[in-house]
Amino acid sequence: MNAGLFGGTFNPLHNGHIDVIKYVKQAFHLQKIFLFPSATPPHKSMTELAPARDRLDMVKGWVTEQDGFYASDIELKRKGPSFTIDTIKAFKKSAFENEIFKKKHGLQLNFSLLMGSDAFFDITTWKKQELIFRAIPIIVMLRGDRTGIEPIASFIDEHISKGYKLNKGLTKFTHKQMQPICICNVPKIDISSTMIRARVKENLSIKGLVPANVENIIKEKDLYK
Ligand code: ATP
C-alpha cells in the first residue's frame, strides 16, 4: 500500500495544501496520506506561530471528514526541533512494530515524502539530508513558481548528487544508491499560510481559502491578530 507523508507548519492549514495533496494522492495512487504538523520548525521564524495544539486540531478536524487522510502528532510528541529524518524513521518504525498502527493502516506501507518545490529547494539546510534521500522516495510538488524540470535537475546535480538520471518522461530521477525523486506538476494554487495570516490581521474574509473547521478555530482562538 502506498502512503504519503506530508509535513508542514500548517500555520494555518489551507486549501492550497489540501488541493495539492488531493491531486498527488490520485496521480501517485497513494491510498493514505499522513499530515504531520511540525512543533518547532527549525527553518521558520517563530513570530505569528499558532500553538502546535491548535495547528494539530486544524488538521485533525479536516481529516475526520476525508477518506484516506490522517493527522499525526508524531513531531509534537518529540522534544526540541522537528527534524524530518527522525519523523521518517518514526513512521517506518510504527509501520513495522506498532500493533495499533499496523491494525489501523495495514501491514505493508510504502512511504513517500511529499513536499512543495520551495521546501525541496531548501532541503540542503535540513539535518542529515543525505539520509533522507537514501531512506524514502520524494515527491516534489512543482508549485508553478519555478517552471519546468530544469531548475530541479540542476539543483539535484549541484547540491544532492551527480548520480541521478532523469527518465524520458521528465518525471522521475533515479539513482543507484538513493531512492527516486519524483516530480508532480500540481495545479497552481495561489494560497499560502502567510496570505491567510495577513488577511486575518486585516479583518478580511478567509472563506473558501481554508476549510470551515480551520476558519472556526482561528475565530474561536483569536489567532493571527
Ligand atoms: P508559509 O506561507 O507560512 O511559509 P505555506 O503556505 O508555504 O506557509 P507550509 O505549512 O509551510 O505552508 O507548507 C507545507 C508544505 O506545503 C510545503 O512543502 C509547501 O511547499 C507546500 N505548500 C504550501 N502551500 C502550497 C500551495 N499553494 N501549492 C503547493 N504546495 C504548497
Q: Which residues are paired to 71 by β-bridges?
A: 35
Q: What is the pLDDT of residue 97?
A: 84
Spatial separation of the C-alpha atoms in residues 34 and 149, rounded to whole Å = 27
Among the residues of 79-192, which ranges form H helices? 84-97, 99-105, 117-120, 129-135, 150-155
Identify the DSSP state of 157: I
pLDDT 10s per residue in the chain (225 long)?
Answer: 999 999 999 999 999 999 999 999 999 999 999 999 988 655 655 668 999 999 999 999 999 999 999 999 999 988 777 789 999 999 999 888 888 888 888 878 899 999 999 899 998 888 888 899 999 999 999 876 556 789 999 999 999 999 999 999 989 999 999 999 999 999 888 999 999 999 999 999 999 999 999 999 999 999 998
Ligand 1 mutation target, pool 36, 115, 118, most atoms within 8 A of CB: 118
Amino acid at 138: I
Amino acid at 164: Y
Stretch (H or E) spanning 145: none
Place of cell 530541479: 152
127 phi/psi in degrees, rounded to 5:
-65, 135
Stretch (H or E) spanning 206: none
Atom of ligand 1 nearest to the CA of 114: 18
Atom of ligand 1 nearest to the CA of 41: 11
Query: What are the domain boundaries of the chain?
Result: 2-190
What's the residue count for the chain? 225
Q: How far is CA 160 from the centre of its chain?
A: 20
Q: What is the pLDDT of residue 61?
A: 98
Place of cell 519523523: 87
pTM equals 0.93
172 phi/psi in degrees, rounded to 5:
-150, 130
Does residue 122 have its Cβ closer than 6 Å to ligand 1?
no
- Are 181 and 140 contacting, i.e. CB atoms less than 8 angstroms apart? yes
Does residue 192 have its Cβ closer than 6 Å to ligand 1?
yes
C-alpha dist (Å) from residue 126 to 18, 49, 168: 24, 20, 30
Grid cell at residue 176: 543507484
Its CATH architecture, for the domain 2-190, is: 3-Layer(aba) Sandwich (3.40)
